[in-house]
């Protein structure tokens, strides 16, 4: 089997990277929504951070950055 030309391989990989980027963005938004739901359930960013072994800053930033409604 012959290897496709390098330009075609680059095009294919660029398309894959674009798809993966979109999937990562969607996953970040779903995760932030889950963190926000955790804050609603547990009552604070601190409680969610403690429960998930994360920093309060990481939880707060994720919620702020990815749940702009």
Q: What is the pLDDT of residues 3-43, one digit of tens each?
A: 999 999 999 999 999 999 999 999 999 999 999 999 999 99
**How far is it, in rounded angstroms, from Cα 61 to Cα 21?**
19
Burial 33-69 (b: 16+ CB within 10 A, else e): eebbebbeeeeebeebbeeeeeeeeebbebbeebeee
Number of structural domains found in the chain: 1
Within a domain: 38: yes
Within a domain: 1: no
Within a domain: 30: yes
Q: How confident is the model at residue 68 (pLDDT cuts 50, 70, 90)?
A: confident
Within a domain: 13: yes
Whole-angstrom Cα Rg for the chain:
19
Write down the pTM of the prediction: 0.84
pLDDT at 58: 98
Range of the domain at 52: 6-66
């Amino acid at each position: 089997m012959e290897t496709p030309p390098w330009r075609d391989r680059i095009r294919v990989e660029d398309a894959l990277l674009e798809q993966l980027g979109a999937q990562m963005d969607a996953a970040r938004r779903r995760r932030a929504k889950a963190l926000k739901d955790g804050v609603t359930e547990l009552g604070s960013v601190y409680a969610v951070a403690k429960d998930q072994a994360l920093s309060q800053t990481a939880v707060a930033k994720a919620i702020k950055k990815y749940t702009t409604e």
